[in-house]
Amino acid sequence: MATLEIRDLHVSVDAENGPREILRGVDLTVKQGETHAIMGPNGSGKSTLAYSVAGHPKYRVTGGSVLLDGEDVLSMTVDERARAGLFLAMQYPVEVAGVSVSNFLRTAATATRGEAPKLRLWVKEVKEAMERLQMDPAFAERNVNEGFSGGEKKRHEILQLELLRPKIAILDETDSGLDVDALRVVSEGVNRVQATGQIGTLLITHYTRILKYIRPDHVHVFAGGRIVESGGAELADKLEDEGYEAYTGKGESA
C-alpha cells in the first residue's frame, strides 16, 4: 500500500517584502485506498500544500519532510514525482499552447508508465475514458486547456486521473465552477478510480456538495497554514453549518 507522509512541513514564498511563511507545520498521512478532504478558508494555504507536494518552484520548503513509500519526494524533480505516482489537479489548470490533449496525455502516460502505450490501444483507451466523462471526442485534438471552459478544464483533469492512474492524487477544488451535471460526472470519475482501491485521494474543497457524491474517510480543517482539526465525514457537515470562525479567530480568512 502506497503511503504519502507529510511531516511538519514548513513552506515559504518570496513575497515583495521578503520571505513569507505560508505552511506552518503540516502533518498528514494519506494511504492508497483512502479519501481525505481538506477544507479551510481562502488564503489558508491549501493550494500551497498541493503545489509544494507537486514540486512547484515558487514554494520553498524550509522544514519538514514529504515521503512517498519512504522515498524523499522533496528531493525529486517534478517529473520524478509524477513517475513515482503523484498527481496534482490544479485549482487553475494552465494552457499548453500547441499541444493537443491527445498528445499531452500520451506523453504523460509514457512518462508515468515507463513505456509508450501502443497507439491503437491508446486511442481506444482515451476514447472510452472521454465517453465515461461525457466529453466531446473533438476535445482530443484541441490544445490543452486553450479556450476550455472552467468545467471542461476540470473534466480534462479527471480524464488525466483516469488514464494516468497515480498512487496519490491531490485534487485542488476540482468541484469549483461545475454545474450539477458536471459535478456528478466528475465525482463519478473520481469514484471509479477510487473503487480500484489503488489510489489515495486528497480532495481540497470549499463545498460539502461534492462530499455528497464522494464520501471522504477523513475530513481535515486547514487554517493558518496547518491542519487544526481532523475527523470523519460528519466534520464537513459541521463546517457547512458553523463556518471556520471557531478555528481562525477574526481576520484570518483574508
Ligand X SMILES: Nc1ncnc2c1ncn2[C@@H]1O[C@H](COP(=O)(O)OP(=O)(O)OP(=O)(O)O)[C@@H](O)[C@H]1O
Q: Is 117 in the site for ligand X (CB under 6 A)?
A: no
Q: Does 47 bind Mg ion (CB under 5 A)?
A: yes
Per-residue buried b or exposed e for 26-39, using 16+ beta carbons within 10 Å of the residue's own CB:
bebebebebbbbbb
Q: Of 4, 11, 39, 45, which one interacts with ligand X (CB under 6 A)?
A: 45
Quick one: 40 or 93, whose CB is closer to ligand X? 40
Residue 169, all three cell numbers: 492524487
Q: Burial level of 173, CB count in 10 A (0-12/13-18/19+)?
A: buried
C-alpha distances in angstroms, 49 versus 14, 52, 128?
A: 16, 5, 33
Give least dist CB 226 to ligand X, A.
Answer: 12
Q: Which does 33 bind (CB under 5 to 8 A by kind): Mg ion, ligand X, none?
A: none
| 154 is a contact residue toward ligand X (CB under 6 A) | no
Min dist. Cβ of residue 179 to ligand X (A): 20
32 binds ligand X (CB under 6 A): no
**Contact between 11 and ligand X (CB under 6 A)?**
no
Q: Is 44 in the site for Mg ion (CB under 5 A)?
A: no
Q: Give CA separation, 220 vs 175, 223, 249, in Å.
A: 17, 10, 18
Q: How many angstroms separate the CA atoms of 119 and 152, rounded?
A: 25
CA dist 223 and 236 (Å) reads: 14
Q: For residues 42 and 196, which CB has a smaller minimum distance to Mg ion in the complex?
A: 42
Interacting residues toward ligand X by CB under 6 A: 13, 15, 20, 22, 40, 42-48, 91, 254
Interacting residues toward Mg ion by CB under 5 A: 46-47, 91
